[in-house]
Amino acid sequence: MNQTNNHQQKLRFPDGFLWGAATSSHQVEGDNTNNQWWEFEQRPGKIWHGDRSGLACNWWCNAEVDFDLMQHFGHNTHRMSLEWSRIEPTPGRFDHAAIDRYRAMLDGLRQRGLKPMVTFHHFTNPLWLEQLGGWENPDVVTYFQRYVRYAARELSDLCDLWLTINEPLVYVAQGWVRGIWPPEKISALGALRVFRHMMQAHGIGYQMIHAVAPAAKVGFAMPVRVFQPANPDSWLDRKAANLKRYLAEHVWIMSAVDGKIRFPFGFDEYHRTLEDSTDFIGLNFYTRDLVRFRPDPRLLFGEEHYHPQGEYSDSGWRGVYSEYAPQALNQIVHEVNVFHKPIYITENGLPDHDDDQRPRWLLGHLHQLHRAIQDGCDVRGYYHWTFTDNFEWSEGWGLRFGLIELDPQTQQRRPRPSAYMYSQIARNNAIERSLVEQYAPELLSLLF
């Protein structure tokens, strides 16, 4: 294990540590007309400012522009996702041209020294699946199995790091609890059905990938937050925070460990395929949440609050991404490390179009990650969200998470200062004192 080398003035990461960025198909590929998000975007009032994904970052035609940049900036990995609606445009019919494109992309990453990590499901579904009832339909598990088996067979010679499903909790919460993403339902029963099918699909997906590629490593990406009571003296706030924490973390990871899907009121359902179905744990970390009790089941009895710090330049955004709390990343990594599985930070980033916060933010989080590794936590890689600005779901082009600024009209790319800073960290596999002096001198005394 590498240690802090104070005398060398750098924070070194373990040898072989993976440094990269994360993306998802719909957010970057462009012209994904055959999924439910495309359809959703066409409806007025659904996306900020009426934005649409459109050409996105034009990856379907030319992801290689960004792969070149990733190589140029010293990344050694990239996390991307497959678009189910391209691979299986109608039920049971697979599109070889789509697979060829993905093969070219994975090969392109590898040629440039970037190890691929690939997600099978990142929020989008083929329209045909949506019309059959989407993730509420129990058959989705078999459909997912068929898709994963096919794609894993076709691609597993080019990739050995897989995620079955990205943030199942967010998918359920946005689509069935808050009802603000497709299919825009507010239904506890629907939410439970989707939760059950996603866990089953994860387990079966895990088995499918291993059947084709026994040496592959398979996990899933969890959205993690450190839910804390807004008022630690309030019993109700504490209960609400604990409930969120249980629902957000515990039920998902535990299910993939012991195979038991946990429903409310202590009802468990065991699935053999789900038991021990995660080789590693992917953590998507953005912020800490302060939870205040509210007697509203749609909020899961707690409303989240944030303590914005600094002046946020991404106009009017004071919500979930506004709090700077990097020590929460350290805490969550420690908490998840008790499962004794390798950990990857599969997403971490913030919207900041003029990049006046990101350098400090990034250094602060990587410092906390480094501390966790020093404490013995088995963290293997870090994927910044994201590489180029991309289509940010309901917020459209309004939130800019990229290391690289993108003008979606002209497809012009312009690296932000953070891209250069991150590049030096990736190349050196370390945070050097001089880098902190240059980008966030206010952190010097904390880091060294």
Using CA atoms, how far residue 418 sits from 179, 186, 189, 349, 413, in Å, is 35, 39, 44, 11, 14
- Over the window 391 to 430, marking each residue x when it contacts ligand FCB by CB under 6 A and - when it does not, the resulting string is -xx-------x-----------------------------
Residue 167 CB, nearest approach to ligand FCB (Å): 5
For residue 297 the two structure tokens come to 């089941």
Return d(Cα 247, Cα 302) in angstroms, integer: 12
Q: Which of 13, 24, 86, 274 binds ligand FCB (CB under 6 A)?
A: 24
13 or 37: CB nearest ligand FCB = 37
Residue 129 CB, nearest approach to ligand FCB (Å): 19
Residue type, 78: H
Q: How many residues bind ligand FCB (CB under 6 A)?
A: 12
41 or 237: CB nearest ligand FCB = 41
24 or 35: CB nearest ligand FCB = 24
Kindly give, in sequence order, each residue whose CB lies less than 8 Å from that of residue 338, ignoring residues fewer than 6 positions away: none
Q: Is 249 in the site for ligand FCB (CB under 6 A)?
A: no
Closest among 206, 199, 202, 217 to 260, alpha carbons compared: 199
- Over the window 271 to 290, marking each residue x when it contacts ligand FCB by CB under 6 A and - when it does not, the resulting string is -------------x------
- Over the window 151 to 190, marking each residue x when it contacts ligand FCB by CB under 6 A and - when it does not, the resulting string is ---------------xx--x--------------------
Residue 144 CB, nearest approach to ligand FCB (Å): 18
Residue type, 212: V
Enumerate residues 305-344 that contact ligand FCB by CB under 6 A: none
Closest among 17, 21, 52 to 401, alpha carbons compared: 21
Using CA atoms, how far residue 203 sits from 85, 221, 392, 395, in Å, is 21, 14, 28, 31
Using CA atoms, how far residue 219 sits from 116, 204, 304, in Å, is 14, 12, 28
Q: Is 56 in the site for ligand FCB (CB under 6 A)?
A: no
Instruction: For residue 384, count other CB atoms closer than 10 A to its CB.
Output: 27
323: left (phi over 0), alpha (psi -120 to 50) or beta: beta
Question: What does the binding site for ligand FCB look like in residue numbers (CB under 6 A)?
Answer: 24, 27, 166-167, 170, 223, 284, 347, 385, 392-393, 401
